[in-house]
């Protein structure tokens, strides 16, 4: 009797998430590599998903409105991603951790105080905080995989300097598919169970090669020579700073560590994350999927906004001077709105408060560059824009997003080529997109195929309904 009850209970209770069940696993599995640790976590998570679907599969989230169909699917529950969740009031949490909690918990570089993106990638994939040795091992592995195929270097070198860095970036990433482990294995006929392992290998290559791609684009378009070689004894962010020519500035290296962490992931529904997932669902390899993500990130309403903010601030300075009064700034903001343009860096499709990614960058600026004139202007704009957007009455969120701040920090350290800013966003976003692709293949996520309707069909459907 008792055992029958236990059996019934076991059937009724969904399996615990692999992540919740193994919260402390990094302590017991101290020396596992990331791939080994994932291999341990995946079977339990597959069972967890099966149990959720068995118990809740036929339940509904609620209604879908016609406005949502016309309105960019705002708020439509349609995607699964465990890596990060965005709360409209609080902002992003990576596997349950706020940015501040990540800053406190993730391993740092010797002498550094910002979290290493290597640790964030481990956290996104496993839900666990890695040991410093595990992070160190990832730094080494990425450095070892960093070299670009010669033909990819040639593609970048042949791009005209006038081609936007994001177009060059997406082209180079797409071309890496030439050596995709997943594409090769798929063409040879692998089992579905092996998808995630090859996706993992491609994702590791992808992330590892991004500094060399970004550095080469930067040096070609703005510099004179070729990027400095990757140093296998250094961490990922140091090497990114190095290929750009800024590694002798420790504060800039720290900025890169923070920058990559906060830009890495922002739940599953934003354009770059969702594009990667969508394209990956066709079993396009991670290079093809992330190349598509980058093309979405290059749009001015998404990642290009960090470039747009600086362009907008510089135009403002040209028009009203560098130490303009609040009144003059207000007038400039109104003139932007009256000209039918958006104020870049403000508003968000989900957030309804100041983006904690903005706050994290502000805290960095207060620590490292409190007297910087552009930082002061960013602060002045922050005091002015929200009230104006509220008064204008259109934007649902009048507060700044991540892009309102990043350009001022980069400019401070001498990286003032605004057209390059979204490339750095792209390097960071690879961490979230790659983690999502790996889990999607591990969980057997199917081809995405939502239903579209014509306006005519919608009219007919609701013709006789109130």
The residue written with tokens 């994290």 in the block is: 360
Helix, strand or coil for residue 400? Answer: strand
Nearest residue (CB) to ligand CMX, 67 versus 150: 67
Nearest residue (CB) to ligand CMX, 305 versus 409: 305
Contacts of 393 (CB under 8 A, 6+ apart): none
- Reported as type and span, the H/E element at residue 218 is helix 195-222
Determine the Cα–Cα distance for residues 410 and 23; give it in Å rounded to an integer. 36
User: Are residues 155 and 171 in contact, defined by beta-carbon separation less than 8 angstroms?
Assistant: yes
- Interface with ligand CMX (CB under 6 A), residue from 117, 119, 345, 426: 345
Decide if residue 91 touches ligand CMX (CB under 6 A): no
Nearest approach, Cβ of 257 to ligand CMX (angstroms)? 20
Decide if residue 259 touches ligand CMX (CB under 6 A): no
The interface region with ligand CMX, picked from 20-28, 139-147, 244-252, 343-351 by CB under 6 A, is 343-351
Nearest approach, Cβ of 259 to ligand CMX (angstroms)? 13
Decide if residue 394 touches ligand CMX (CB under 6 A): yes
Decide if residue 347 touches ligand CMX (CB under 6 A): yes
CA distances from 95 to 126, 127, 193, 409, 435 (A): 9, 6, 25, 27, 12
Annotate 26-55 with b (16+ C-beta within 10 A) or e (fewer): beebeebebeebbeebbebbbebbebeeee
Count of CB atoms situated within 10 Å of the CB of 70: 11
- Catalytic positions, please? 302, 348, 403
Decide if residue 386 touches ligand CMX (CB under 6 A): no
Segment 163 to 182, residues that bind ligand CMX, using CB under 6 A: none
Segment 300 to 329, residues that bind ligand CMX, using CB under 6 A: 301-303, 305
Decide if residue 397 touches ligand CMX (CB under 6 A): yes
Using only C-alpha atoms, the chain has a radius of gyration, in whole angstroms, of: 23
* Cβ-closest position to ligand CMX: 347
User: Are residues 172 and 152 in contact, defined by beta-carbon separation less than 8 angstroms?
Assistant: yes
Segment 349 to 368, residues that bind ligand CMX, using CB under 6 A: 349
- Interface with ligand CMX (CB under 6 A), residue from 343, 409, 424, 445: 343
CA distances from 197 to 36, 153, 446 (A): 10, 27, 17
Nearest approach, Cβ of 30 to ligand CMX (angstroms)? 37
Nearest residue (CB) to ligand CMX, 317 versus 336: 336
Nearest approach, Cβ of 397 to ligand CMX (angstroms)? 6
- Interface with ligand CMX (CB under 6 A), residue from 401, 411, 428, 436: 401
Nearest residue (CB) to ligand CMX, 219 versus 397: 397
Determine the Cα–Cα distance for residues 397 and 382; give it in Å rounded to an integer. 13
- Count of residues engaged in binding ligand CMX, rule: CB under 6 A: 21
Determine the Cα–Cα distance for residues 151 and 156; give it in Å rounded to an integer. 9
The interface region with ligand CMX, picked from 109-117, 173-181, 282-290, 390-398 by CB under 6 A, is 390-398
Nearest approach, Cβ of 316 to ligand CMX (angstroms)? 14
Nearest residue (CB) to ligand CMX, 8 versus 301: 301
The residue written with tokens 């090769």 in the block is: 184
Phi, psi of 314, rounded to the nearest 5 degrees:
-65, -40
Nearest approach, Cβ of 355 to ligand CMX (angstroms)? 8
Nearest approach, Cβ of 66 to ligand CMX (angstroms)? 17
Q: How many angstroms from the chain centroid is the CA of residue 399?
A: 20
Nearest residue (CB) to ligand CMX, 136 versus 380: 380
Count of CB atoms situated within 10 Å of the CB of 304: 22
Interface contacts to ligand CMX, rule CB under 6 A? 270, 301-303, 305, 337, 342-349, 394-397, 401-403
């Amino acid at each position: 009797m008792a055992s029958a009850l236990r059996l019934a209970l076991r059937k009724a209770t969904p399996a615990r998430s692999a992540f919740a069940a193994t919260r402390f696993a990094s302590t017991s599995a101290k020396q596992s590599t990331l791939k080994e640790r994932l291999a341990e976590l995946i079977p339990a998570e597959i069972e967890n998903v099966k149990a959720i679907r068995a118990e809740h599969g036929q339940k509904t989230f609620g209604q879908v409105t016609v406005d949502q169909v016309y309105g960019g699917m705002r708020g439509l529950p349609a995607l699964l991603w465990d890596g990060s969740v965005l709360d409209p009031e609080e902002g992003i949490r990576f596997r349950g951790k706020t940015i501040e909690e990540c800053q406190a918990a993730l391993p740092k570089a010797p002498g550094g105080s910002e979290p290493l993106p290597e640790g964030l990638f481990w956290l996104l994939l496993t839900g666990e905080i890695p040991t410093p040795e595990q992070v160190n091992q990832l730094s080494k592995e990425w450095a070892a995989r960093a070299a670009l195929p010669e033909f990819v270097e040639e593609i970048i070198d042949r791009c005209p300097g006038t081609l936007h860095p994001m177009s060059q970036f997406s082209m180079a990433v797409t071309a890496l598919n030439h050596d995709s482990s997943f594409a090769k294995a798929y063409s040879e006929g692998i089992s579905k169970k092996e998808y995630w392992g090859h996706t993992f290998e491609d994702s590791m290559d992808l992330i590892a090669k991004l500094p060399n791609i970004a550095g080469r684009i930067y040096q070609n378009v703005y510099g004179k020579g070729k990027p400095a070689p990757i140093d296998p004894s250094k961490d990922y962010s140091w090497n990114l700073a190095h290929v750009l020519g800024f590694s002798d500035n420790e504060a800039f290296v720290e900025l890169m560590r923070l920058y990559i962490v906060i830009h890495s992931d922002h739940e599953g529904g934003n354009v770059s994350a969702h594009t990667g997932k969508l394209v990956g669902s066709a079993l396009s390899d991670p290079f093809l999927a992330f190349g598509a993500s980058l093309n979405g990130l290059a749009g001015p309403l998404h990642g290009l906004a960090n470039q747009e903010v600086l362009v907008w601030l510089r135009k403002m300075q040209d028009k009203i001077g560098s130490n303009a009064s609040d009144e003059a700034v207000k007038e400039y903001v109104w003139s932007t709105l009256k000209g039918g343009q958006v104020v870049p860096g403000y508003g968000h499709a989900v957030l309804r408060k100041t983006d904690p990614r903005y706050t994290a960058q502000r805290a960095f600026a207060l620590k490292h560059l409190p007297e910087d004139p552009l930082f002061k202007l960013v602060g002045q704009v922050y005091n002015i824009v929200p009230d104006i957007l509220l008064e204008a009455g259109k934007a649902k969120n009048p507060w700044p997003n991540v892009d309102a701040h990043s350009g001022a920090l980069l400019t401070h350290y001498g990286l003032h080529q605004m057209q390059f800013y979204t490339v750095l966003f792209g390097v960071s976003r690879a961490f979230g997109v790659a983690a999502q692709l790996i889990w999607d293949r591990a969980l057997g996520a199917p081809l995405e195929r939502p239903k579209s309707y014509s306006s005519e069909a919608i009219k007919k459907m609701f013709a006789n309904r109130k």
